[in-house]
Chains A and B, each alone.
Chain A
Amino acid sequence: MQTIDKKVVYFPDKAIKQGFPSLFKEMVREIIRSRWLIQQFLVRDFSATYKQTILGIFWAFFVPLISTGTFIFLSSGGILDVGSLSIPYPIYAVAGTALWQFFSVGLTLSANSLVNSGSMVTRINFNRESLVISAIAQGFVPSIVQIVVLFILFACYQIMPPITVLLVPLAMIPLMLLTLGLGLILSIINGVFRDVGLGISTLLTFLMFATPILYTKPTGGIVATISQYNPLYYVVSVPRDLLITGSVNELGGFLYSSLFALVLFLICWIAFHLAETRIAERI
């Protein structure tokens, strides 16, 4: 007879009664164990998205390009005042959307991830964070495509990209944590109130205009005031600056925002873990 090493106990309020250290250890262990599952979800959703399309993977290029193109059109037409820039606006806009797309695509997909897999969530015991994480990871697709476009633009304008480009993956960690934290909590709330899934794209459009990403931060006025306290602005603009100019102006804001993102992520992750079994009975 085989030896049984795995023994589990279920009881009311288990997550709380087992104590925080044990809970946290369990959370980390589950994520590590689920690496392959996350990868499978990612491959599944990625290939399924582009399977029945004529243009296939090219869609990953078109969608961000069209949105960037719209901004380039608006600014060159003088409809949008983007402020004074040291580099050509297309480079500025493509770099900004590269980071913004990661946030917006990742958040939209992750907010709907649990609800879209409702039958699975209610009937199978698997690591549900995996669904959210793989959704966030899908946000990298348009982001990477945009960065490829960015380098093509650098070549066209015959501008040498700054060496700080190499720091971008590191500088994106706070943005990832922020997206993941919000994605985890929104996916849970969406399980209870479907309003989240319906309202998310409208909210993201508003956020994109409220955050100085496709235009420079004004020196005064309401946008400047909001941006000063908007962690999203710092965690997007710093990697963006590293990508195009190499000079970072608001390091203090970035560090505070990074700390904020980390704390938000931890709180949301714990909330997700505490809530997931209650959501599974209600979704």
Chain B
Amino acid sequence: MDGNLAIKVEHVSKKYCRYIRRSMGYGIQDIGLNLLGMTTKSDRLRKDEFWAVDDVSFEVHRGETIGIMGRNGSGKSTILKMLNGIFMPDKGRIEISGRVGALIEIGAGFHPMLTGKANIYINGAILGMSKQEINRKFNDIVEFAGIGNFIDTPVKNYSSGMYVRLGFAVAVHSEPDILLVDEVLSVGDREFQAKCYRKMHELKKKNDVSIVLISHNEYTMREFTERCIVMNQGKVIYSNASEDAISFYINKTIREREAAAQTDKYISKKDIIRDVTFSDRTGKKTDKIPTGGKLVIDFYYESERKIKKPIFGITFYNSSGLFAGFYNSYENVVLPDIQGKGRVRVSIDPFDFPVDTYSAGVGISEEEESNTLEWGAVAQQLIIERPNNTRGLLKLKQTWEVIPK
């Protein structure tokens, strides 16, 4: 293995059985074969088995962070557990070089009746730390967890946040070369999450730690990972630089959501607003706009009857489904009556939406805002991109100066 590689996963597959009883039976069968010194035919599926992870290959270099995205049940956690050696692959081969720290289960082995202090030692021991190592890092752990005087209190009296903080604090102080993180941080509060990510960043920069991160949060992925793997039904369906992989994943999930939610009404040729298009500063039709750039929206309408003082509006939702903004003509201008074919154009410059993928809904009212004639979703997504020279979610206009005294 190349000395610069931390993890090498080659054509790895893992099968699961759908039914617990049969799964137990197969377990006994496999253990029996091994006991007799025979290998199992693990590369073949038996009745009711399926590939939970199917022919997955990837590599992680030292100091590199990769993300694994995918819906529930796509095999992400199974891969992480195989990387951690909790169970063996059924096909393929995994090579790991370095000490592995896993944030799969936070606070493993914590006993609710025992104090935070006692639990630090137990948890540390489970994660493979020696007594001397824990003694040495004890103060750092307590400080990082921010639990102060509660250190001598039984952990059953901890809030769930404190519990997670203590668990995470122990895990990150176990000095791993490779850190496996499975969506565990979503439990803590935002402040602590930020602290955890800063700590992980530090581990990565200072100690060349490689990180494999599972998260549904594309902000986390965007900020934290260099590459992402998108999984679906056990297979890797996309693997690339994070920005591209995230766009792919979001588009895919949104497409799936659309397919699932047939009840959502989309604008169509039968409606007054027949189509909506987005254009950028150059006037070119596009679905990608850099954050802080100019967005031009065209509403193509057609109506046989005359609509008096029409009000056009558009709503945006971000990829998490959060209401991001609502803009209508009523707030700005009274539009003249419309009849027949035409289009209404609104230009927004700068369009200061954070980097994300947005879906839109459009509607038209007559004379009064409350008199809605129709309302429908726009099939096309609007992707707000990060301009090349920008970091973070927004490009902000700045003025820098030196003011001498």
**Interface residue ranges, A against B (CB under 8 Å):** 1-2, 4, 6-17, 36-37, 40-41, 43-45, 47-48, 51-52, 117, 119-120, 122-126, 188, 192-193, 270-271, 274-275, 277-282
Contact = CB atoms under 8 A, between A and B. Distances in A.
B89 A282 contact: no
B372 interface: no
Interface stretch (B77-85, B288-296, B314-322): B77-85
Given A1-B62, A278-B30, A12 B108 contact: no
B88 interface: yes
Contacts of B20: 282
B24 A193 contact: yes
A125 B99 contact: no
Interface string B98-139: 111010110011010110001001100111101100000000
Contact of B97 (A1, A6, A17, A122): A6
Contact of B27 (A7, A36, A45, A282): A282
A274 B114 contact: no
B24 A12 contact: no
A167 to B, nearest CB: 33
Contacts of A6: 97-99
B243 interface: no
Contacts of B27: 192, 275, 278-279, 282
8 contacts: A2-B177, A4-B177, A122-B86, A124-B84, A125-B85, A125-B86, A192-B24, A278-B31
B222 interface: no
Contacts of A40: 121-122, 125-126
Contacts of A119: 105, 108
Contacts of B118: 43-44, 47
Most A-side CB within 10 Å, residue of B30, B43, B90, B109: B109
Contacts of A43: 118, 122
B31 A274 contact: yes
Contact of A11 (B81, B94, B126, B207): B94
- The 6 A-B residue pairs whose C-beta atoms are closest, nearest first, are A123-B105, A40-B125, A13-B39, A10-B94, A7-B97, A12-B42
A21 to B, nearest CB: 13
Contact of A126 (B23, B114, B128): B128
Interface in B241-287: none
B94 A12 contact: no
B104 to A, nearest CB: 5
Given A10-B82, A10-B88, A277-B87, A48 B31 contact: no
Contacts of B38: 16
B87 A36 contact: no
A9 B93 contact: yes
Contacts of B336: none
Most B-side CB within 10 Å, residue of A4, A47, A51: A4
B103 to A, nearest CB: 10
B204 interface: no
B86 A51 contact: no
Nearest to B31: A275
A13 B40 contact: yes
B56 to A, nearest CB: 13
A126 B85 CA distance: 9
Interface of B: 1, 16, 20, 23-24, 27-28, 30-31, 34-35, 37-40, 42-43, 62, 81-82, 84-100, 102, 104-105, 108-109, 111, 113-114, 118, 121-122, 125-128, 130-131, 154, 177, 207-208
B89 A16 contact: no
B128 A10 contact: no
Nearest to A34: B125
A48 B113 contact: yes
A36 B154 CA distance: 22
A10 B95 CA distance: 6
A277 to B, nearest CB: 4
B114 A120 contact: no
Contacts of A274: 31, 34-35
Contacts of B154: 51
Most B-side CB within 10 Å, residue of A11, A48, A279: A11
Given A6-B99, A10-B88, A16 B108 contact: no
B89 A11 contact: yes
Most A-side CB within 10 Å, residue of B1, B30, B39, B87: B87
Contacts of B88: 10-14, 277
B97 A4 contact: yes
Most B-side CB within 10 Å, residue of A14, A44, A120: A44
Contact of A120 (B35, B105, B208): B105
A113 B114 CA distance: 18
A41 B111 CA distance: 10
B98 to A, nearest CB: 5
Contacts of A126: 126-128
A28 B122 CA distance: 22
B43 A16 contact: no
Contacts of B16: 281
